Copies of this chain bind each other. A is one copy, B any other.
């Protein structure tokens, strides 16, 4: 999977170009936006959390929206990396299996979990779904379903992604949600 590596490399380079403090701001903002929401997080709280003066946020990102957009841009990249392993899978059954296990992978890593929580929180707060981010994944799923002989592969793919949104909703918001039970059940439904 050379793509992943390249992207990761690119990311490292980009990050090295950033000042320490600029990155501290991004990390602090990510954490606070994810846990308290965009509107509920003040720039002064971000500055405090980042250990940085408030003015610096505006020097680096222009304004609060600029900071938010920088985080979202960062996110698109991270999402691409996160999805790359699935998209380039050639065995259809394995591809779907990997897709279904996505949420388990998210659940395993607190930082990744926080990142996706932010994505969903911002979606709802800003009312922008950002569907283009999911297109490659939807396409790959569609191809897989097609190979497996499903009569409506495009709709099957879309349904699966919709399901992922539903699972995310539950996973991030419902305290006692049993993720494993649902994922296992889906595996059996798709005969994997």
A interface list, Cβ under 8 A from B: 37, 39-40, 120-121, 123-125, 127-129, 131, 152, 155, 158-159, 161-167, 169-170, 172-177, 181-182, 185-186, 188-189
Interface of A is mostly: helix
Identify the closest chain B residue to A160 (Cβ). B166
Identify the closest chain B residue to A123 (Cβ). B173
Cβ-defined contact, A129 with B165, below 8 A: no
30 of the cross-chain contacts (CB-CB < 8 Å) are A37-B39, A37-B124, A39-B39, A39-B40, A40-B125, A123-B169, A124-B124, A125-B125, A127-B173, A128-B173, A129-B174, A129-B175, A129-B177, A131-B175, A131-B176, A155-B182, A155-B185, A158-B182, A159-B163, A159-B182, A159-B186, A159-B189, A163-B163, A163-B166, A164-B166, A165-B165, A165-B166, A166-B166, A166-B169, A169-B169
Copies in the complex: 4
